[in-house]
Structure formats: structure tokens, C-alpha cells
Amino acid sequence: MSARGLGEPAKLLRPDVRAVDREPACTSIPVRLFVSYAREDESQLKRLNSILDVLEQYHGLTSWNDTRLIAGDEWSVEIQQRLEDMDIFLFIASQASLASPYIKDPEIRRAMERRGAGEVEIAIVKLEPCACDDHPLLGKLHRLAPGLKSIAQSRLKSDAWEQVRKDLLPVIRRVRAKKERLPNPN
């Protein structure tokens, strides 16, 4: 019989809390990723979401996009807060995302400001043929899976998304290493 009383439910702790109980040194500093995408592209991002889920499980990534908003959230306030909390800005480049006024400002504008201050990394995935390479700021940045014209133009989409995952890992590691060198504010 356990120390719990009969009928008392087991208390489940988040994995990061359980890790601290076992060995404080084994917990890694989370890396927060903000996904910027156009609503029109949402159906094409299922593969990305599964990749991000795996990166969360095995590499301490915490990803966020607006599909995680819940009823009652002030969406603009929540997005603004996530833009301030992020370590990596993942821009999903498409015709729709490049044309979106909200993605241009505040999302891309704030990401570029914070990148200029050395606070965040920007990663770009070219979802489809679009003018992201012509963008005055984003066009200067090396994108994920640069050997591919775009995800849509890849022979095998699964291979293209796997290359995105592989290319995102060094970005996550670089951000984590930088965060580990910073003094702990607590």
C-alpha cells in the first residue's frame, strides 16, 4: 500500500519539476520559440507542429503560436508578451505572411528590433515560393533548409521538414549556450 490514502489520486508533476527533484543539474534552460505564420497557412503547418513537439520533449524547447490562445485571452496582449519573452522568432515565409500587416508590425518589426539588440535569433522557413528573399531585413538572413527552394517545391515534404528540424537544432543550442552564460536574475 502506498503512502497515499485509498482513492486519493496521484499528483502528476510537470517533467521539468520532476527533473529538479531527481537532479537539479540535469534541467536545461528552456528556449522559447515564437512561431509567426499567416492564418491561411495553418493547414500546412501540421508537420512543423509535430517537429516542435519532439523538440520540446528532447531539447527543452518551448514553442508558442496563436493557436495556443484560450478563451478570454486578450490575443494582442498575449502576442505582445510572447514577442518579449521569446528567444527565437520562427518566421514561416509565404505570400500570405509577407502580405499580413499584423505580421509586419508588430511581429517582424519587434523581432528585428530585439535581434538588433542581440536578444533573439530569427529563423526562417520558406513555406512556398514568395518574396522573402527580397525582404530588406529578412532577405539578409540565412534560412532553415537553405538547400531547398521551399517546402512546397520539395519532392518529399517529410524530408524538407526533417531538414528544418536539423537546421533548427544548432539555433536552439546557440541560444541555450548564450542563456547559460548570462547571470541568473534570481
Per-residue pLDDT reduced to its tens digit, 87-103 = 999 999 999 999 999 99
Low-confidence ranges of the chain (pLDDT < 50): 1-6, 8-26
- pLDDT for 122 equals 97
- Which long-range contacts does 141-146 make (Cβ < 8 Å, 24+ apart)? 143/93, 144/168
pTM over 0.85: no
**Is 142 within 8 Å of 118 (Cβ atoms)?**
no
pLDDT value for 75: 87
pLDDT of residue 29: 84
Q: Which domains occur in the chain, in start order?
A: 26-179 (3.40.50.10140)
